[in-house]
Amino acid sequence: MQEQVSQVIDQLRPVIQADGGDLELVSVSDDGVVTLRLQGSCTGCGSAAATLRSGIERWIRRKVPGVREVVAV
């Protein structure tokens, strides 16, 4: 599952980078929790939590069966 999530993040990365941010995959647990580190302009952005939930998490869950949740550290 880790490799699948990594591939999806690579697909999302150009969109996030276009706004000055970036994503780092920290871990994927056995129970389907993906942990990401938001970087760049995402770290101080007030919309980061909304982007994580409504965009990033939704896309990863759609593309990778078994992902239950996406959290940021």
Tell me: the pLDDT tens digits for 7-65? Answer: 999 999 998 899 888 999 999 999 999 999 989 887 777 788 888 888 899 999 999 99
What CATH number does residue 6 fall under?
A: 3.30.300.130
Q: What is the DSSP letter of 56?
A: I
Contact (Cβ atoms closer than 8 angstroms) between residue 32 and residue 49: no
User: Residue 5: pLDDT band by 50, 70, 90 thresholds?
Assistant: very high
Total domain count, the chain: 1
Residue 57: which domain range? Answer: 2-72
Distance CA 71, CA 63 (A): 17
What pTM was computed for the model? 0.88
CA angle, residues 15, 67, 31, in degrees to nearest 5: 140
Nearest in space to 38 (alpha carbons), one of 28, 53, 48: 48
DSSP-assigned beta bridge partners for residue 13:
none
